[in-house]
Chains A and B, each alone.
Chain A
Amino acid sequence: MMRLWFYIMMIGWLAISCEKVIDIDLNDANPNIVVEAELYQGERDFEVKLSYTSSFFEEEEQEIVDNAFVTLTEVGGETVEVPYAEDGLYRIEDYLAKDDKQYTLSIDVDGVNYSSTADMPPNVTLDSIEQRDPMGPFMGDGGKVLFLHWNDNPDQENYYRVIYALNDTLRRSREDVFIFDDGFVNGNETEIPLFVRLFDPGDTVDVQFLAIDPKAYDYLLTLNTIIGNGQPSAAPANPNSNFTNGALGYFAVYNGDQKRIIIEE
């Protein structure tokens, strides 16, 4: 919501303001470890990407971590090693993540342990996707807004993420990080506009509608404030990581559904 207000202000300012690229001296921080790990309910490949932070401006390859010992534990169940694959990626093929379980990801690098534990959120079903004509400041030239319909469980706080593919290409740019909670829409039959973009007639859109664990949700929420995709903050800070020992990044656990829509005129 604040995002809207910010855009409106920007419209006003742009009329009178001018923008230019400037030089700013930034210090180089000591490298810090970054974890990116997403676990989906069901049988799927599970990947963990490990890297280090780099200097802000310099164009350089991101330094990867290839000497880590990574394990995934189903709490109260089995612990498996996630072996190193390539390019900083650690992978188990066809891992079965189950409902109602808790998972711990543990990473040992150079004698330091980073770990995170997350609950598998209850499954959510996407009932339908509907296209509509937008109104208000979002009116485009013939584009359509997608509305997602699902049954929200009113008895609990639910956190959602939508990841979509447009014409078979997964969209994961900064504008596409779309998350929400049920604060404004708590109830049974619920719908929400997928406000990442307008879609054109003929587009094929595959929507993954995912319940996400609250800690990863908090990470993405705070990530959005610093990548210019949420309420801009007066004092930016690193997103709230769910790892111990100051590792950046997240261990996200998803449980959801997928549907396709082909946009009509």
Chain B
Amino acid sequence: MRITLLLTLLFVFQLGFSQSFTISGNIRDAESGEDLIGATVSVQELPGTGTSANAYGFYSLTLEKGEYTLVYEFIGLENEIRKINLDKPLEINVELGQGSIEMEEVVVTAEREDANVSETKMSVTKIDPRDIETVPVIFGEKDIIKTLQLTPGVKSAGEGNSGFYVRGGGIDQNLILLDEAPVYNASHLLGFFSVFNSDAIKDVTLYKGGIPAEYGGRASSVMDIKMKDGNSKRLGVSGGIGLISSRLTVEAPIVKDKGSFMISGRRTYADVFLNFATNEQLKNSTLYFYDLNAKANYRIGKKDRVYLSGYFGRDIFGFNNNQFGFDWGNTTGTLRWNHLFSDKFFSNTSVIFSDYDYKFKVTFAENANFAVSSGIKDWNIKQDFSWFPSPNNTVKFGFNGIYHTFLPGSISTDENSIFNSDTIPENYALEGALYIQNEQKINSWLSLNYGLRYAMFNQIGPGTVKTYNPDGEITSEETFKEWNSIKYYGGLEPRVAAKFGLDEKSSLKLSYTRNYQFVHLLSNSTTTTPTDVWVPSSVNVKPQISDQIALGYFRNLFDNAYEFSLETYYKTLENQIDYKNGADLVLNPDVESELVFGDGYAYGAEIFLRKRKGDFTGWISYAIGRTFRRFAEINNGDYFPARQDRIHDLAVVGIYNITPRWNVSGTFVFYTGDAATFPSGRYELEGISVPYFTERNGYRFPSYNRMDLGVTYISSKSDRFESSWNLSVYNVYGRQNPFTIDFRQSEENPNENEAFQIALFRWVPSLTYNFKF
């Protein structure tokens, strides 16, 4: 029934067109040749008619025969106006430049000035890395994830941490895509840095709700990150030198205007400081990470274009000549082929690889050592079609198939080691999806984006399936051969979003999204650690399912200088995972027996007020929300607040251009403390004072607040060379926000207990020099 309705809607609009022709082409940046994702084309003679460029800069607009004036727009760049006589199909490639318009120091980009109000999309946060250049961040490493944490509905996993929670969901419920490849562990160095070097990034879009049908696989959000294509006009070099890391990016045309490449690297050198250590063991230690992003693209004729992009990053830690060693990292690769079947029909085919793995090695004494490794590996084929039948409809459909290999862990030892080597068998699964969606403008006040996605998952052999009783003992075992189906899951995911225009400046939006999640992250610690393990849905582990409805009011003020939005949401979560008491998640062949399953819900409201024009820009973000979980085995089966149940969350960001060369910025963050489990009593056992707990997450951390300030000075600016200095201080008033709270026997009086907290960063200064030529 649903499908019939959809198809009817899809084809109804085709009627009524007489003789019409299509204008198509690419919209690019005149200076760098980068595709301008989301640049708009509007028709002056037909108010409300237009289209926008897709992720590859391609646009297609079909109009009736006639004479028109087309306006090409991209915020921050000068408009391009073309008068056309449409009596045959036209290919118009446009390059938008800075022209005579005085460029503002802080470029704020968006599809259109009024995109906030006019687009169907809701619950979406878009960030251009150039927006955040001057926002102060810890260690001076501008970081898209840290900036997203300053927007409503996105919460950091902890002090300085790049893990995040979206609308009450878990950390593993965020699908993080880098050029379409999933990144399974997006953090470096205990989470204080994300793996995304913002020099290599063109565009970031976070979908918190109203997720289009083209995306799927995680319960709470999608973060779609696109790497730069590389300058196709001339050689460009940019970089930065900071106190703990440096970056360098080189981009150049392969053949001018036909192809280009970009290579961007970053390395930290925190371990340089270890040389100053007086301790010999620390002196002989290493601690650093690096990232390498590379991308190349080439146009083959007018209809085809290929892209190859990759990411390689690793953290390396070695203590005292590697007696204790740890290294982990992600590798991703994406090969894409764009093909134009016609001027209305665009296709992209991708082959995607993603790998995350970690290893650690421990030496206790001679012949007492071992190494542990674990990870996940994906091969993915993805086919997406876009069809632009009329200015009022953009249809997308496609499919993808992923082959997952899960490596739960293996332990290897030297020949003489007293420990045994062991490997927990790998798990295999196929994940797939089919989708179709249409973005349709019904009339001047109503537009819809509706779609349907069928998500499926099949755990396949070789493998052994075990079932467990409630005590975690094995009750049955069955072995499957290669490619044999072990367990199949599948389900339909309806996605609907509607925009009701109230007037030129305001609109109401409504959306509903259902998501299945078939892979799950097991992590029994409060921070993201490299030893977290991904596991597939299986006989014992059912897919997580989320349903979310969201309603929002959007309004722009003062000629689009201010954007305002108020959104509310309600989300339910099924088949959530928690752990039995004392669960052992590392190297456990029966890890599924350590899990408990329950449900949850979250609701809240988010207010966002942003000023995007003028010398002073910035935003205020406030979210109020609750999120609860329930498990039969925990807390007597009652709902309890999830750790990330921060009721109030406020962020204020301000950037002020005092002069063209001087710029100051500041952020202020306040949020309710995390829900936590503290003891409500104690007892003695073996002479040890043991805490007595009565409820899960029944207490709270003290509320968190912090202010960061930054100053940027542009030391030189010409066509040939640009450079700037950035000084920032994290936590300027040095508040000791607790990172952990724990309890212990008092040293002065062993009969008494005391609570103590550990705070991490206070007054962390950083200085960075950035250059570009």
The answer to whether A and B assemble together is yes
Residues of A participating in the B interface, judged by any CB pair closer than 8 Å: 1-2, 4-5, 8-9, 12-13, 16-24, 26-29, 31-32, 34, 36, 51-57, 59, 62, 132-139, 145, 147, 172-174, 177, 184-187, 190-193, 195, 218, 221-223, 225-228, 231-240, 248-250
Number of B interface residues in the complex (CB < 8 A): 81
- Can you list 23 A-B contacts (CB < 8 A)? A9-B190, A17-B760, A18-B759, A19-B759, A21-B756, A23-B755, A24-B755, A34-B685, A53-B682, A53-B692, A55-B682, A59-B749, A134-B365, A136-B365, A139-B281, A147-B365, A147-B368, A172-B688, A177-B686, A185-B418, A231-B524, A239-B690, A248-B692
Q: A29-B680, A52-B683 are in contact. Are A192 and B418 (CB under 8 A)?
A: yes
Query: Hey, which chain A residues are within 8 Å of B319, CB to CB?
Result: 8, 136-137
How far, in Å, is B140 (CB) from chain A's closest CB?
15
Which of B63-71, B80-88, B737-745 participates in binding chain A? B737-745
Contact of B362 among A4, A18, A34, A55 (CB under 8 A): A4
Q: Check B682 against A18 for contact (C-beta < 8 Å).
A: no
How far, in Å, is B521 (CB) from chain A's closest CB?
13
Q: How many A-B residue pairs have CB under 8 A?
A: 218
A36 CA to B690 CA, complexed, in Å: 13
A2 CA to B529 CA, complexed, in Å: 11
Q: A4-B324, A135-B363 are in contact. Are A234 and B692 (CB under 8 A)?
A: no
Residues of B participating in the A interface, judged by any CB pair closer than 8 Å: 190, 281, 287, 317, 319-320, 323-324, 326, 360, 362-366, 368, 370, 372, 411, 418-420, 422, 523-526, 529, 531, 578-579, 581-582, 584, 586-587, 634, 643, 677-688, 690-694, 696-699, 702, 736, 738-739, 741-744, 749, 751-762, 764
Q: A2-B586, A135-B323 are in contact. Are A249 and B685 (CB under 8 A)?
A: yes
Extra contacts, 16 of them, besides A19-B759, A236-B691 (Cβ < 8 A), are A2-B531, A13-B758, A22-B738, A22-B757, A32-B683, A51-B684, A56-B691, A135-B364, A173-B688, A177-B686, A193-B365, A193-B368, A222-B582, A226-B690, A238-B692, A240-B582
Q: Check B582 against A28 for contact (C-beta < 8 Å).
A: no
Q: Check A18 against B736 for contact (C-beta < 8 Å).
A: yes
Q: Check B419 against A18 for contact (C-beta < 8 Å).
A: no
A101 CA to B608 CA, complexed, in Å: 69
Query: Hey, which chain B residues are within 8 Å of A187, CB to CB?
Result: 420
Contact of A225 among B368, B418, B582 (CB under 8 A): B582
Q: Check A136 against B362 for contact (C-beta < 8 Å).
A: yes
Query: Hey, which chain A residues are within 8 Å of B685, CB to CB?
Result: 34, 36, 223, 248-250
Q: Check A1 against B420 for contact (C-beta < 8 Å).
A: no
A235 CA to B678 CA, complexed, in Å: 9
Residue of B nearest to A55 (CB): B681
Query: Hey, which chain A residues are within 8 Å of B526, CB to CB?
Result: 234
Contact of A12 among B190, B586, B696, B742 (CB under 8 A): B190
Q: Check A22 against B693 for contact (C-beta < 8 Å).
A: no
Contact of B681 among A36, A53, A145, A218 (CB under 8 A): A53
Query: Hey, which chain B residues are within 8 Å of A225, CB to CB?
Result: 581-582
Query: Hey, which chain A residues are within 8 Å of B756, CB to CB?
Result: 19-22
How far, in Å, is A92 (CB) from chain B's closest CB?
20
Q: Check B365 against A62 for contact (C-beta < 8 Å).
A: no
Query: Hey, which chain B residues are within 8 Å of A31, CB to CB?
Result: 681
Contact of A137 among B324, B372, B419, B758 (CB under 8 A): B324
Query: Hey, which chain B residues are within 8 Å of A19, CB to CB?
Result: 756-759
Q: Check A134 against B411 for contact (C-beta < 8 Å).
A: no
Q: Check B677 against A237 for contact (C-beta < 8 Å).
A: yes
Q: Check A137 against B755 for contact (C-beta < 8 Å).
A: no
Query: Hey, which chain A residues are within 8 Å of B370, CB to CB?
Result: 184
How far, in Å, is B692 (CB) from chain A's closest CB?
5
Q: Check B281 against A26 for contact (C-beta < 8 Å).
A: no
Query: Hey, which chain B residues are within 8 Å of A55, CB to CB?
Result: 681-682
A222 CA to B372 CA, complexed, in Å: 23
Q: Check A57 against B752 for contact (C-beta < 8 Å).
A: yes
A106 CA to B691 CA, complexed, in Å: 25
Q: Check B680 against A135 for contact (C-beta < 8 Å).
A: no
Residue of B nearest to A9 (CB): B190
Query: Hey, which chain B residues are within 8 Å of A193, CB to CB?
Result: 364-365, 368
